[in-house]
Structure 1
Amino acid sequence: MSDDLDDIQAIFFEECAEGLATAEAGLSAMADGDVSAGVIAGVFRAVHSIKGGAGAFGHAALTAFSHRFENVLDEVRAGRIAPTPGVTRVMLTAFDVLADHVAAAQGTSPLPADAAVAAALDQVLADRGVAEAAPVPAAPAPAPVAVVEDDPFGFEPVTASVEPFDPFGFEPVTVTLDLLDDARPVVADAPLPWTVTFVPSDAALANGGEPMLIVRELEMLGGTITGVDLSRLPSLRDLEPEHAYLGWTISVPGTVEESAIGECFDFVAPESIVDIVREISSDMASTGVPVVPPVAVAPVPAPVPVPVALAEVPTLIATPIAAAPVPPMPVAVAPVAPPPPVRPAPVRVDEAEVQRTHEVAAQTIRVDLTKLDMLLNLVGELVIRGSILADRLSPKDQERVELPQLSRLTREIQDTVMSLRAQPIKQAFSRVPRMLRDLSAETGKQVTLETTGETTEVDKGVIEKIGDPLTHMIRNAVDHGIESPEKRLAAGKPAQGTIKLSAEQKGARIFVRVADDGGGIDRARVRAKAVEKGIVAPDAVLTDEEIDQLICAPGFSTAETISNISGRGVGMDVVRSNVEALGGRVEIASTPGKGTTFTMVLPLTLAILEGMIVRLAGQRFVLPLANVIETVQPEPGQVRPTTTTGEVIELRGNYLPVRRLTRTFGFADNDARTPEESLVIIVESETAGHVGLMVDTIDDRREVVIKSLDQNLHPIRGLGGATILGDGSIALILDIEALVGPSAPLNRYPQKGLAA
């Protein structure tokens, strides 16, 4: 039973993560000015769900804080508190504390100190908002003259408050009266409690409901059980375990909003009875005099005075106030009409609507990601076994055992599993607006964010691992890229900088870009810092691309002082190491005075790709088929040298650059092979366009399972991983973009190739 509870609680924390993401996106939208009802309702529902689940699992601190937070959101949702920037700032701070409470409930962090934020939330409720600017204090008014006289008939004293007036300006004199009518409404000192009657339906337990969870949630609001209805309880012989027989009467403090009580019954079972009414005091019950509960009213301007001649109130002022004649005095009297008592009808749930909801919910199911990983690994093993059969069987035998059909079914299974793991990259982008807002406030820089491609789907494992790189790239763009408003204006730019965050899929790769319109990379300063830190030799000859890549070196930073944003030299190093661990790479393009673009090139899937098996100096490599355009057998003179290391191929009147992969990987003994004895594979890349790769031969076309080099060896630029071929041998998978890009490795392994 304990294991089942742990499993259910794990699902609750997954829902918390989804709710926090929804709440953060909504609050960020509110901070940007979108205060539509749908956005506010989305934040409210997210916090309400977290509160309900926390109460069910006994996380008292999380429940208490989320309830406070929910109270403010409920008032904002109802329009009783305006979602001003001040209120939104308080709620954003409360969100941070709520996330810390969720982490504390999971046991991954200590319990946060929430007293200050809780007090701020209470203050928002009390003041019905947050003052955006301190009001100008008014000049102190003269103290009013109070005249108190005992009534000769034994009634309570009458108090008249008279404010001095300007005899030349004829300002009115305001008299505040205490009514002496004995039949006036009685104002209670505190709101009367609520009486909640809850009778769950017979089928509540059978439908998966738990009435006691609702009762406990009401108790968390301060409610107490005042009665239990046992009239439906049968004899022990007729007792059905899946039936609900009890009903409860619960008294809830009057300070609790009725909407907060009603929300406890959001998921109540069909045909349940819920009755929420104000209690009636014994005095009122006996006299029949209506009770007017006190209402919290925001400060309003003074009411327009109603002129009343002094002669009309002779019994109110027994002695003259001043010798001078007194002009007519206005009297401000606010008559209170007692509202008729309203008894809400019992809340009954539409059974058909609940059934439709259950049908929709039944179409989805939560699956642990490790189970999907296991399934994906099994599909990979199935692909390997298919390769083994393809190597060992003749084409005729392959047709006889329907191996092509088996390969097709395997591919469909793999695509289905990958679609289960695919998630929109918006999950990784959702935290950027809030982070950018905080960075702008901390640096004093004005930055706006533009996002595109948020619906691009990426493997779940990729999304989880690009969070840190994305954070460091955004921080770097704000701190080092975007200039201060003064510098931007002096350079003829708008004071507000722009960061563009985008994602797109091209072939088997995902390109995530962070581009700013700042000052670009100061390459002279970067080089000087690299020399100072001993990263490069003083006499080293570096291209612009190589200097740009220096900012990703461990411990490198151009910040003069260490701050909360940068200065420790761990930012871009984390970006490159994390991205390369995924089998991707980081590209940097910068134009002085124009800005810088960081691109994370990530694999679309971490599992299976369709590749071409090629040979280099007797070793087999896998070239991703998604990049291949065509294959050319060069004729004499078709491949021509341009420099000592560069060659081009003439193809239909165009000249394309050619790279000898034997030279790239250091197979020097095979470098004397002529182009006519080789094959040139024309591939397409994002950064270099069409490029020819010279290989020895092509062996086969095959689906291969990608194995990470980071887990089994270490990342190597130009290689995207490894795979196991049908004969059990290992082949390395080529990374086309890294091989043909501007900073592609040339003669990186000059002595003994990859073995070195």
Structure 2
Amino acid sequence: MDPLAAIRETFFQECEEQLAELESGLLAMEAGDTDPETINAVFRAVHSIKGGAGAFSLEALVRFAHVFETALDEMRSGRLTPTPESLKTMLRAADVLADHVRAAHDGGSVDEAHTAALAEELKALGPDGAGAEDEGGEDDWGDFEFTPMSIEAPAAPAVAGWQVRFKPRADLYAKANEAALLLRELARLGETQVELDDSALPALTDLDPEAAYLAWNVTLSGEADEAAVREVFEFVDGDCELEVTPICGAPDGGAEGGGLDPTPDETLQDPGETLDIGALLARVQAVADPPPSTPEVSPGAPAPAVAATLAEPSPPDGQGQPRKPEAGATIRVDLERVDRLIDLVGELVINQAMLSQRVMEAGFARASGVAMGLDELEQLTREIQDSVMAIRAQPVKSVFQRMPRLVREVAAMTGKPVRLVTEGEGTEVDKTVIERLADPLTHMIRNAIDHGLESPEKREAAGKPAEGVVRLTAAHRSGRIVIEVADDGGGINRERVKAIAVEKGLIAPDAPLSDEEIDNLIFMPGFSTASEVSDISGRGVGMDVVKRSIQALGGRITISSRPGKGSTFTMSLPLTLAVLDGMVVSVQGQTLVAPITAIVETLLPKPSDVHSLGGHARVIAIRESYTPLIDVGMALGYRTTPLDATQGVALLIEGEGGARAALLVDAIQGQRQVVIKSLEANYRQVPGVAAATILGDGRVALILDIDTIVAVSRGADSLRAEKRLAATG
């Protein structure tokens, strides 16, 4: 087994973070961000990828990253001005760099001709092609050579020098920097003698894998000034301890000017020699091993090495005080372990509900010790559930960051200039929801560019800017996450949509459809407005898949379109697929659960407040306004005659977009925290039902799809539209 396999995998995980930082920085610069720190962050991202790739001899990745880094260095030095053209080139370079990273990780390949051509574009960005050269003079893409983890130095030493003490902090490594690469850059300034200081390295049992214990004392000979020496450590400023002391006269191994006298074993004798990582790891292991006098651990006892760092206080510092943990420290955990923990918490919630049910059935008074203990258990269970769910909560930024490249590619294929605007990237949602959002968003953005946006000529003729805008936003609303994909194109051509649906036999020619029902035709299987099949669309597969994907997540999708102004697709999704707070109600002998986040209030209808509109349609007067009154039993098919409103309880609910309705149920049983179980995965999709759960008495209860029921009250429910379409077809 490769001992570096885990380190290599960590490198690729960090590469994804660096690539995201790179693209977000370039997009910010394209939007007008002139902060020098933004340019520095972009440069550091490429520099970190290049350095890590060099450690693993990923030569193709290193070569391209080297050229990219050189161009960015020209920009941060002020010799290259960020222009829309140069930033577009760098965004394409970021895409190619991502391709190289993925090819190195998955063993695939990249288009070398395209890579070489883009490398030439990067070189040409500098003044008179200065971007093609770096400090070492490597100006030929094909002849670039890289020695992994090497320290290169000029042949001729100078008569003066510097004593440099360099001690990284943990943050330096957490930001994907590498000490050996800094030493290599330092060696470019002159001849170096390097001494490793491992005096702070604790015993293996006290070793914190995320801490930094090593330091280096470097004797630098040459004519470099102090500013040049400190510039080497510019990007780790604040993440290390750095002391630069001048050496008077010619250094002779560190004897003058307070220099050190490194031993042969501790010095890199040849500055151009490759640093042996295996030997360094072996040395660290040898120093970190506990002395022979350490008591041996019995075969049945747990190994203390890593467990001690998690369960016991941090090792003390030099003054005997416990070392404070690094701010913002993180730990990588296998996702399967988190999923297992969430499943167990779900079972804990169910068992706690069952226990409460048994105690209630036994007739214990609420003031009894058992009942009070159960209340405390319920509070503790809720806190555990909230904490565990917070572990899985992630910002949608990880999905949003994939879209700029998609927009660039589709815009290039269609010949339409497009600008993507994103908002609410920090909105958090369950990781399971995030993972399943990528495909629907990809379909919708491709369609927005291909079908929604007009050609530049048509936009200019209509008085619009030639550049189209696609807006991707996310926000929390009514206990759910709402994601919108909007464009400023021509909107949905309803006449053409209806004509195509008739042509394909999806509806009857004389079908009476509202505007919203016509818009929803694009979600029907096999529907496509493309006149010919292309790499982007035309096969009639896409929006129906999007709708099924969203419904599988317990969400719904709606369309709002204005001719000549554009279209907006709105997806409403649950924040989590695990647990929710619900109101348990009874309907015709059945137990149902309504998500409590959608309930505004409950009330007992009075005869004078309920008014019939003909047939089974009714409204209820609530504070001088009329709200549709929906009999849940009728809506779900539990009964054929409506319930007398005065014999039930009305739940005033608010759905997506602020639409309100009153759900009429037989009775309210109480409020519960319930564990969501997928109904579609275990049975099939049921109209008006989002999922199922297990109650405290072991019965299965259905969780209502509030958005669908509210849509029914507005007469715009897609299920009813599909029934009408099926009847007319």
Structure-1-length-normalised TM-score = 0.69
Hey, what does 2:364 align to over in structure 1? 396
- Which aligned pairs between 1:189-338 and structure 2 lie closer than 5 A? 194=154, 262=232
Q: 1:744 to 1:530 in 2, by over 3 A?
A: same
Q: Secondary structure at the match of 2:87?
A: helix
Pick from 524, 542, 559 the counterpart of residue 588 of structure 1.
Answer: 559
Residues 616 and 642, structure 2, Cα contact 8 Å, conserved in 1: no
Higher alpha-carbon Rg:
1
| Distance apart, 1:453 and its partner CA | 2.9
Q: Aligned equivalents of 2:668 and 2:84: distance in 1?
A: 64
| Distance apart, 1:195 and its partner CA | 5.3
Hey, what does 2:109 align to over in structure 1? 111
Deviations 1:518-573 (A, max 9, x none): 22211221122223333334454433222211212233210112233322223323
Q: What residue ranges of structure 2 are gaps of 5+ in the alignment?
A: 130-136, 140-151, 199-206, 208-212, 222-227, 248-316, 724-729
Count of aligned pairs between the two proteins? 601
What letter is aligned with 2:669?
Answer: D
Q: Secondary structure at the match of 1:121?
A: helix
Q: 1:639 to 1:35 in 2, by over 3 A?
A: same
Pick from 661, 679, 683 the counterpart of residue 691 of structure 1.
Answer: 661
Residues 664 and 745, structure 1, Cα contact 8 Å, conserved in 2: no
Deviations 1:725-747 (A, max 9, x none): 11122111111111111433678
Hey, what does 1:733 align to over in structure 2? 703
Residues 665 and 749, structure 1, Cα contact 8 Å, conserved in 2: no
- Which aligned pairs between 1:409-420 and structure 2 lie closer than 5 A? 409-420=380-391
| Distance apart, 1:249 and its partner CA | 11
When you count helix as a share of all residues, which structure comes out higher?
2
- Which aligned pairs between 1:393-472 and structure 2 lie closer than 5 A? 393-394=359-360, 396=364, 399-401=368-370, 402-472=373-443
Aligned pair 1:386/2:346, yes or no?
no
Residues 55 and 63, structure 1, Cα contact 8 Å, conserved in 2: yes
Q: 1:357 to 1:549 in 2, by over 3 A?
A: farther
Q: Aligned equivalents of 1:749 and 1:616: distance in 2?
A: 26
Hey, what does 1:701 align to over in structure 2? 671
Q: Aligned equivalents of 1:55 and 1:610: distance in 2?
A: 51
Deviations 1:503-530 (A, max 9, x none): 2212221111122232221122112222
Q: Secondary structure at the match of 1:29?
A: helix
Pick from 719, 743, 753 the counterpart of residue 689 of structure 2.
Answer: 719
Deviations 1:463-495 (A, max 9, x none): 232222222222222222222344344445555
What letter is aligned with 1:114?
Answer: E
CA RMSD of aligned residues (A): 4.6
Q: 1:130 to 1:419 in 2, by over 3 A?
A: farther
Q: Aligned equivalents of 2:196 and 2:677: distance in 1?
A: 67
Q: Aligned equivalents of 2:424 and 2:485: distance in 1?
A: 12
| Distance apart, 1:117 and its partner CA | 2.7
Deviations 1:217-245 (A, max 9, x none): 9899999x999989999xxxxxxxx9999
Aligned pair 1:50/2:59, yes or no?
no
Q: 1:66 to 1:709 in 2, by over 3 A?
A: farther
Q: Aligned equivalents of 2:120 and 2:709: distance in 1?
A: 60
Q: 1:232 to 1:463 in 2, by over 3 A?
A: closer
What letter is aligned with 2:570?
Answer: T
Aligned pair 1:7/2:16, yes or no?
no
Hey, what does 2:479 align to over in structure 1? 508
What letter is aligned with 2:110?
Answer: P
Pick from 537, 548, 567 the counterpart of residue 519 of structure 2.
Answer: 548
Q: Secondary structure at the match of 2:607?
A: coil
Q: Aligned equivalents of 2:168 and 2:628: distance in 1?
A: 73
Q: Aligned equivalents of 2:616 and 2:673: distance in 1?
A: 33
Deviations 1:563-617 (A, max 9, x none): 3332222332332122222211111122233321100101112221111111222
Hey, what does 2:210 align to over in structure 1? none
Deviations 1:32-69 (A, max 9, x none): 44343222111111112222222333433323332332
Percent of aligned pairs sharing the same letter: 46
| Distance apart, 1:263 and its partner CA | 6.8
Hey, what does 2:717 align to over in structure 1? 744
Q: 1:250 to 1:668 in 2, by over 3 A?
A: same
| Distance apart, 1:361 and its partner CA | 5.5
Residues 218 and 264, structure 1, Cα contact 8 Å, conserved in 2: no
Q: Aligned equivalents of 1:400 and 1:228: distance in 2?
A: 73
Q: Aligned equivalents of 2:32 and 2:340: distance in 1?
A: 45
| Distance apart, 1:380 and its partner CA | 1.4
Q: 1:189 to 1:467 in 2, by over 3 A?
A: closer
What letter is aligned with 2:664?
Answer: M
Q: 1:119 to 1:559 in 2, by over 3 A?
A: closer
Q: Secondary structure at the match of 1:469?
A: helix
Q: Aligned equivalents of 1:491 and 1:18: distance in 2?
A: 41
Q: Aligned equivalents of 1:536 and 1:130: distance in 2?
A: 64
Structure-2-length-normalised TM-score = 0.71
Aligned pair 1:363/2:337, yes or no?
no
Q: Aligned equivalents of 2:489 and 2:503: distance in 1?
A: 25
Deviations 1:125-167 (A, max 9, x none): 3662589xxxxxxxxxxxxxxxxxxxxxxxxxxxxxxxxxxxx
Q: 1:74 to 1:356 in 2, by over 3 A?
A: farther
Hey, what does 1:374 align to over in structure 2? 340
Q: What residue ranges of structure 1 are gaps of 5+ in the alignment?
A: 132-187, 234-241, 252-257, 277-350, 751-756
Pick from 592, 598, 606 the counterpart of residue 635 of structure 1.
Answer: 606
Q: Aligned equivalents of 1:607 and 1:648: distance in 2?
A: 35
What letter is aligned with 1:396?
Answer: F
Q: Aligned equivalents of 2:240 and 2:61: distance in 1?
A: 26
Q: 1:530 to 1:214 in 2, by over 3 A?
A: same
Q: 1:509 to 1:598 in 2, by over 3 A?
A: same
Q: Secondary structure at the match of 1:194?
A: coil
- Which aligned pairs between 1:468-617 and structure 2 lie closer than 5 A? 468-617=439-588
Q: 1:56 to 1:273 in 2, by over 3 A?
A: farther
Residues 24 and 431, structure 1, Cα contact 8 Å, conserved in 2: no
Q: Aligned equivalents of 1:205 and 1:436: distance in 2?
A: 40
Q: Aligned equivalents of 2:170 and 2:590: distance in 1?
A: 65
Q: 1:749 to 1:445 in 2, by over 3 A?
A: closer
What letter is aligned with 1:82?
Answer: T
Q: Aligned equivalents of 1:250 and 1:710: distance in 2?
A: 68
Q: 1:498 to 1:356 in 2, by over 3 A?
A: farther
Query: Mean Cα displacement is larger for which, 55-64 or 471-480?
Result: 55-64
Q: Aligned equivalents of 1:356 and 1:100: distance in 2?
A: 45
Aligned pair 1:101/2:74, yes or no?
no
What letter is aligned with 2:539?
Answer: R
Query: Mean Cα displacement is larger for which, 503-512 or 25-34?
Result: 25-34
| Distance apart, 1:454 and its partner CA | 3.2
Residues 666 and 748, structure 1, Cα contact 8 Å, conserved in 2: no
Q: Aligned equivalents of 2:170 and 2:628: distance in 1?
A: 71
Hey, what does 1:19 align to over in structure 2? 18
Residues 494 and 518, structure 2, Cα contact 8 Å, conserved in 1: yes
Pick from 120, 123, 126 the counterpart of residue 125 of structure 1.
Answer: 123
Q: Secondary structure at the match of 2:78?
A: coil
Q: 1:122 to 1:441 in 2, by over 3 A?
A: closer
Q: Secondary structure at the match of 1:360?
A: coil
Q: Secondary structure at the match of 1:454?
A: coil
Q: Secondary structure at the match of 1:396?
A: coil
